[in-house]
Amino acid sequence: MMPEPSTLAVFVVAAVALLVTPGPAVLYIVARSVEQGRWAGLVSALGVHVGTLVHVAAAALGLSALLVSSALAFDIVKYLGAIYLVYLGVRRLLASDARAEAGAAAPRSLRRLFAQGIVVNVLNPKTALFFLAFLPQFVDPARGRVGVQILGLGLIFVVLGVVSDGLYALAAGTAGGWLKGGGRLLRVERYVTGGVFVGLGLTAAFAGNGRK
C-alpha cells in the first residue's frame, strides 16, 4: 500500500528538506540544547515528534482531506499559524537581555521539556501544512486504503525527523558552552530568533495555498 519507489524517494527528499529547514520545532530544540545540553535537546526532539504523531493521526483519520477541501478552513489554519509565529517573534525581539539570561539560568525538567516539545509541534504550522497540503499528493487511492498510506508516510516522516532533529540537538548541545559565552551573543541570538519567527509568520501569511 506504499507508493512506488520513485514516488517514495521524492517524498523522502521533500520531507528531509522540510525537516532541516529551521522552523519553530528546530529553534526550540536548538535553544534547549544550548541552554541545558544534549540530553535536554534530545528529550525535546522526542517530544516534538510525539507532537508530529498527532498530525499523522489527524491526517490518517481524514481531517487533512476535510481541511484541504475547504478554502476557508485552510485559510483559518494558515493565518492563525502566521499570527502565532509573528507573536512569538515580536515577543522575542522585545525581550530584554536580562530576562533572557534569567531564563537561561533556570533549567527546566526533562519531563517539562518533553511536554513543551509536544505542544510546540502540535501547534507548528509548518508541520500542519505539510500534512494538510503536501503529503496527500503522494497518496494513490488505487493502491489501497488511503488512511493506511498516510499513516505509513507519516511514520517515515517521524523517523526522519527524529534523526535530523537529534543531530541538531547533539550539535547545538556540543557547541552550547561556546554559544552562551558573552552577552553580545545573547543579543544576536535574540534578534536572529525573533527575526526568523516573524519572517516565518509573514511567509505563511502571504504564501498562496495553491488554489486558483
Residues 12-22 have pLDDT tens digits of 888 888 788 77
In a domain, 155, yes or no: yes
Whether residue 45 is contained in a domain is answered as yes
Domain assignment present for 61? yes
Q: What's the number of domains the chain is made of? A: 1
Domain that holds residue 89: 5-206
Classify each residue of 77-108 as buried b or exposed e, where b means 16 or more C-beta atoms within 10 Å of its C-beta.
bbeebbebbbebbeebeeeeeeebeeeeeeeb
Question: Which residue is it, cell 488511503?
Answer: 146
- Higher model confidence: residue 19 or residue 66? 19
pLDDT, residue 79, reads: 74
What pLDDT does 169 receive?
A: 92
pLDDT digits (tens, 9 = 90+) for 79-89: 776 677 688 77
- The residue with cell 507519516 is 154
CB-count burial class (<10 Å; 0-12, 13-18, 19+) for 135: buried
The verdict on residue 212 lying in a domain is: no
pTM of this structure? 0.66
The values of phi and psi at residue 123, to 5°, are -95, 10
Grade residue 210 by pLDDT with cuts at 50, 70 and 90.
Answer: very low
CA geometry: angle 116, 156, 43, nearest 5 deg? 25
Is position 211 within any domain? no
Residue 11 in this model has a pLDDT that exceeds 70: yes
| Residue 62 belongs to a domain | yes
What would the grid cell of residue 90 be?
515580536
Residue 118 makes CB contacts below 8 A (sequence gap 6+) with: 47, 48, 50, 51, 54
* Type of residue at 190: R
Predicted confidence band of residue 120 (pLDDT cuts 50, 70, 90): confident
Question: DSSP label at 209?
Answer: -
71 in any annotated domain: yes
Exposed/middle/buried for residue 155 (C-beta within 10 Å: 0-12, 13-18, 19+): middle
Over range 135-163, report the average pLDDT: 82
Mean of all residue pLDDT scores within the chain:
75
Q: Quick one: pLDDT at residue 47?
A: 94
